[in-house]
Amino acid sequence: MVSTVIPVPHPQFVQTAVLEPVTQRALRYLQSGYSLHLEGPTGIGKSALASHLAERRQRPMLWMMGGQDVPWQTDIPGPATQFKQACAEGWTLVYDEFNRSRPEMNTVLLSALEERRVMRLGQQGQDCVSIHPEFRVIFTSNADEYCGTYSTQRALLDRLITLRLPVPNVLAQQQLLVELVGLSREAAALVIGIVQQFFRQVEPDSLSSLRPQLMISQVCQRTGIQVSAENAEFRQVCRDILLSRSGQSAADANEVLWELFNRLAQPMASLERIPSRLHPATT
C-alpha cells in the first residue's frame, strides 16, 4: 500500500509533554541527515508521530505499510514511480510497521541510506536511482513478539537512529482522549482507570496499548453514551471491547470487569483517585 500525501493529514497527532522532547530530538536527527526508527509497543502513537515528523519537514511524503509488497520490487507503474521519485526528489518515506515485511525485502534500503543510490532490477532491466540529499526514511516497528512481525535487520538498524517511544503516562493519556475524542477530563480518567485496572488483573504482562481506551471513548462520544460506571450502555461497550482482549475465560474476565464497575459506581467514589491506582507515570 503506497500513497502520496501533500500535506500529511494522517493520522491525527497530539503533542503531549511526554512526546515533546522526543519530537525535538527526532527533528534534530532528521535535520542532521539521519533516518529514524520509532520503536515501541503497538497502539502508542508511533504512526501518528511519524506522520507529524514528515509534515514538520515540509517535504512531500510517501507512506508505505510493511507487508507482502514493496515498491522497489515491482514494475507496477504507480508504486515503482512514486518510490523512484521520492528517492530522486528528497521526499520523506514513512515506512510504517516495516518489520511486517521479510528482512530480505528491505535490503535495497541499505544502499539507499549508505551509498545514496538504489539499484532496481525489473522487467525493463536495471535502473539506478541517485538519492537526493534530503531523502529520509522514518521507520516504525512493533515488538518482535507481536503477531505477524519479523526480526529486524541489524545491518539496517545500524544505519538508523532508534528512538523508543515512552508509554504515555496517565496525564498524557487524558490529554489524548480530551483532544482527540472530545471527552471531559473526568470521563477520560474513568475510561483510563477501567482499562488499566482491568488489564492489570487479567493480563499483567501484556504489552501496553492505547487502542482500547480510544475505542471505548470514540464509541461513547460518537453515539452519545454517557461515560459512567453506572450506565448499562457504557458497561456493555467496555465488555465488548475489553473481554476479547483477555487471556482469561470470558466468565472470569467478565467477573473482574463487573467488580470494577461496581466498585467505581459506589456513592462517593472519586474519579480523581483513579489514576493513583494505575501504573506509575512513565517519562
pLDDT tens profile 14-43: 777 888 899 999 999 999 999 999 998 777
pLDDT recorded at residue 9: 46
pLDDT, mean over the chain = 81
**DSSP state letter for 100:** G
Residues in CB range of 97: below 8 A, 6 or more apart: 47, 65, 66, 140, 141, 142, 149
pLDDT tens profile 47-75: 889 999 999 999 999 998 887 666 666 56
pLDDT tens profile 172-227: 889 989 988 999 999 999 999 999 999 988 887 766 678 899 999 999 999 999 99
Phi, psi of 250, rounded to the nearest 5 degrees: -60, -40
CA distance 191 to 51: 27
Higher pLDDT, 147 or 172: 172
CA distance 188 to 210: 12
pLDDT (mean) for 71-92: 78
pTM over 0.85: no
Highest mean pLDDT pick, 45-59, 93-107, 134-148: 45-59
Instruction: Give the number of other CB atoms < 10 A from CB of residue 129.
Output: 19
pLDDT exceeds cutoff 80 at 271? no
pLDDT tens profile 220-246: 999 999 999 999 999 999 999 999 888
Q: What is the largest CA-CA distance in the chain?
A: 74
